[in-house]
Structures are given as C-alpha cells and as structure tokens.
Amino acid sequence: MKPLKVAIVDDHILFAKALKTLVSGFEDTYVVFVAKNGREFIEYLKSDNEQPDVVLLDVRMPIMNGLSTMAWIKDNCPDINVIAITMEDDEETISNMIFFGCKGYLLKDVEPAQLNASIVRASKGEFIYNEIVDRDLHKKALNGISEEKEAEVSNHRKFQLKETDQEFLNYLCGTDLGYKEIAAKMHLSPKTIENRRAELFRKLGVSSRVGAVIYVMKHNLIVQS
C-alpha cells in the first residue's frame, strides 16, 4: 500500500508533537506538515506543497478555527479527507463539522489503534461512524434495517417533507444556529420549534441533530437554499 500522508492542524503544540510522533509510528504512514491553525494549513496548501491524504483537524483554534478551515477545504480541496480530533463533543459542533464534509470525529483521548484504523478508512473516503456520531445509525443497525430498505424508506420520506419541514431542515443542517435562533428566523415560538424538531426527527428516523446531518449526507437529501 502506498504510504499515507497525514497533516496535523492543532494549536496545542505539545499535543501536536505527541500526535506527530504517534502517527509517524503507524505502518505506512508519515506526517507531511503540522500547522498551529487553519490559516497556516491553508497557506501550506496554496504553496503547492505535498497534499495530505488525511488531515487531523482540531476544532477550537485561534486565528482560524476548525469549522472555517473545513468550509475552505470543502470549497477548494474537496479530495482531502478530514478527521476532526478534539475535546469538543457537543452536538452542534459535531453536526457542523460533518455537514462541511468531515469524515470522522474523534476525541483526543482516542486509542492509538482506533486512530490508526480511522486514518486508513478516511484515506479511502469512508465515513467513520464511531460512538460519538453513531448513536442513530447504531440504533438502525440493531433493528436490522438493510441498506436497500433504508434507501426505499429514505426516498419515501423525501416526498413526505412539508415546505416548513424543509425550511427547518435548511436551518438545522445548513447553519450553526441554535433552536431558539431558528425559532426566531421562522417566526415561531421555541415550543413550536421543539415540536417541529421532534416531528421531523421522527420522520427521518433519527434522534439528534447529528443524526439529521448524517441522514442528509448518507441519503443525498439535497437541502434547497
């Protein structure tokens, strides 16, 4: 197998150095660049340097954070596979990173073997549905729903979405707005939005905002602007 090229983007210098040492010790893997923030990494890419196969990207960073970096990569270098590696495990952060094309989401206390396996999978363009982002998909797997059946249900659900459902889905999966802010945008009360959220999640067969974003991506459910 051709050696995998990995870049690390993290403002915590000691952690970044330790991560570089760890990743460099994996078989057929080497680190091509370590950046302290997204802007530094983007400048590296713009200088026609060696493009990595996988980027390990922190979320909370000064100057240019992980979400802004992820958005830039999506628009300019969509072939680069990104894994978020961070201490942030809140739902909105995860859903936003996934919406912009992040292949996986790992916490910084991840086991080395899991990190190694995740890098290999991400390099192939696969999604890493770990315990953080897999709450909804794991539930479906336990229920024994086949991919063919899920696709059939997905196509049916697309046509069942009301216009207001679609608008809510736009805000839910296409912005970083909280539920109260979405309520204000849609001129609805927070209680109404809460009911709308519960009904939409029931239609999609998910139980969280992260699950909704993954559903949109997994089933190519285009969110109209």
**pLDDT tens-digit map of 164-206:** 887 888 888 777 788 899 999 999 999 999 998 888 888 777 7
3-state secondary structure at position 31:
strand
* Encoded tokens for 25: 């010790």
Round to whole Å and give the CA distance between 179 and 134. Answer: 22
| Average pLDDT of the chain to the nearest whole number | 80
Q: What is the pLDDT of residues 147-167, one digit of tens each?
A: 444 454 444 444 466 788 878
Query: Which run of H or of E encompasses 54?
Result: strand 54-57
Nearest to 102, CA basis, from 87, 122, 82: 82
Nearest Cα residue to 45 out of 85, 5, 18, 86: 5
* CB 19, CB 119: distance < 8 Å: no
Question: Which tens digit of pLDDT belongs to each residue from 84-129?
Answer: 988 877 777 787 788 788 888 888 888 889 999 999 999 998 888 6
Find all residues with CB under 8 Å of 62, minimum gap 6, and list them: 11, 37
Residues 6+ apart with CB under 8 A from 48: none
* Torsion angle in degrees (nearest 10) through CA of 195, 198, 200, 203: -130
Model pTM score = 0.69
Q: Residues for the chain: how many in total?
A: 225
